[in-house]
Amino acid sequence: MTPLIYGHRGARGEAPENTLASFQKALDAGVTRVELDLHLSADHQLMVIHDPTLKRTTGRRGKVAQRQAADLMQLDARFGLPSWPDACPIPSLEQLFSTFTQLEHYQLEVKSGSVRQSRIVLQAVEELVARYRLQDKVVVTSSSRTLLKYAKASAFSLPTGLVEEYGLLDPIKAAQRYGCRYLILNWKLCTAQRIQQAQQAGLHVSVWTVNEEQRMQKLAAMGVDSLITDYPLRAMQLFNK
């Protein structure tokens, strides 16, 4: 079975991550599914950025949560890839939704801690997804048990997914406990048996971050539902030979 391909933070290996240029790069490769990260700005706008701080991608000091969205959208987020020719502002999720109507599915990974923050983030996601009529095109994922627990308890209207990096506890049981429909596994946690068990439990198994062709083929042979990769073009060329 050929897995679905998700561009990781757009096309992280080919363009500045989590920027409009990066998502365009994924689309140029023929990939219409993307994984991205969300943090709240000081004025509670959903911003597309992985870290809670600005340093790694913009070179600036400070936290995302301490800046207004309009301010954040003026910052150049190509600090990690300075050879990129054009400035790449931090986008808002709304900007991403409105710019790329061709995208077919989003894995929105929420970096969240407290119950209060979970409530604010999930409500903001729900409202924005409803405004753009993307209810069938979004799954909200997180490694935060607090957020997933809150999503289940509050009857959150969108599907959710558990992001599991270490697998210290049974990730399949955890995903079921929180009512998830997706299990997003670090590739190191993948065995054919675990993937089969997860799928038998009704879970879509998505695996990250898979960049080497040999590993892509091995995971595809195990039967994963989707692969998340920094190199969407490489994956598309491999599976469309």
Q: 77: pLDDT confidence band, cut at 50, 70 and 90?
A: very high
SS3 per-residue string spanning 177-220: HCCCCEEEEEHHHCCHHHHHHHHHCCCEEEEECCCCHHHHHHHH
Q: 220: pLDDT confidence band, cut at 50, 70 and 90?
A: very high
* pLDDT tens profile 164-215: 999 889 999 999 999 999 999 999 999 999 999 999 999 999 999 999 999 9
What share of the chain has pLDDT > 70, as a percent?
100
Task: Please provide the average confidence, as pLDDT, over all residues in the chain.
Answer: 97
Two tokens, residue 58: 């913009």
Q: 74: pLDDT confidence band, cut at 50, 70 and 90?
A: very high
Two tokens, residue 100: 């790329």
Q: 68: pLDDT confidence band, cut at 50, 70 and 90?
A: very high
Backbone torsions φ then ψ of 113, nearest 5 degrees: -120, -75
Q: What is the pLDDT of residue 1?
A: 81
CA dihedral over 45, 136, 226, 146, signed as positive or negative = positive
Residue 146 reports pLDDT greater than 80: yes
Q: Are strands 46-48 and 33-40 parallel, antiparallel or unpaired?
A: antiparallel
Say if residues 167 and 190 touch (Cβ distance below 8 Å): no
Residue 155 reports pLDDT greater than 80: yes
Two tokens, residue 148: 């997933």
Mean pLDDT of 219-241: 97
Q: Please identify which residue in the block is written with the tokens 């990066």.
A: 22
Q: How many domains does the chain have?
A: 1
Q: Could you tell me the CATH number of the domain that includes residue 232?
A: 3.20.20.190
Q: What is the pLDDT of residue 44?
A: 96
Q: Which amino acid type is present at position 95?
A: Q
pTM: 0.98
C-alpha distances out from residue 70 to 44, 61, 89, Å: 11, 17, 11
Q: What is the pLDDT of residue 235?
A: 98
Alpha carbons 173 and 89: distance in angstroms, whole number: 39
Q: Which domain holds residue 122?
A: 4-239
* pLDDT tens profile 43-60: 999 999 999 999 999 999
Residues in the chain: 241
Two tokens, residue 239: 């599976």
Q: What is the pLDDT of residue 111?
A: 84
Residue 93 reports pLDDT greater than 90: yes
